[in-house]
Chains A and B, each alone.
Chain A
């Protein structure tokens, strides 16, 4: 079956430009997560969406980062005025969500973002 799909797979942009990263979660998954992973580092949580509830934005590193999830499905992570330290792999994950308990998160292959 279809897994979590992320696009683009790679993105190279100049410092100061805005970028949009897209995530298509697994159909029927109500929970969606964004993480980033720098080279050789662990996962850094960014934001969490669950159904129609207000998102948990506690991991967003600055106000240049924002995310939305339209219609409870596709999500877009936007980074404004990109900086070189934003270079990382941005990972999206989805799961069946909180009400089911102990549900694993399933990841996409990420977007590798490089800021020149």
Chain B
């Protein structure tokens, strides 16, 4: 899987949009961009994923650049409960062998401030 780089930490004011960047310059054509988060003492939580088009669900929006070398996760109205470590990963579409495993990097610690 392609490597990703994320800033180690970010702050965001409660009620404002949180924009979390991720670089994945070596992504290949069959790899999707996934975002997960992990709140302290909880298991990882799936947020959203996409291939090349922008995606939106009830939790967040995912903006992928045209060259697919970077993406941004947007939490439109951050709350205190969104404080967590956010992980950006890229994975092939079809799970086989080692691709089945999820591997998280260091992620971004997002702190939502009151």
Contacts and interface: CB of A to CB of B under 8 A. Distances in A.
Contact of A104 (B41, B46, B104): B46
Given A98-B95, A98-B96, A35 B102 contact: yes
Q: How large is the interface on B (under 10, 10 to 19, 20 to 34, 35 or more residues)?
A: 20 to 34
A101 interface: yes
A17 B94 CA distance: 39
Nearest to A105: B102
A108 B41 CA distance: 11
Q: How large is the interface on A (under 10, 10 to 19, 20 to 34, 35 or more residues)?
A: 20 to 34
Contacts, number: 58
Interface string A47-63: 01000000010010000
A103 B46 CA distance: 10
Interface string A82-116: 00000000010100001001111111111000000
A43 B34 contact: no
A42 interface: yes
Interface in A1-19: 4
Interface of A: 4, 31, 33, 35, 42-43, 45, 48, 56, 59, 91, 93, 98, 101-110
Interface of B: 32, 34, 41-46, 49, 51, 91, 93-96, 100-105
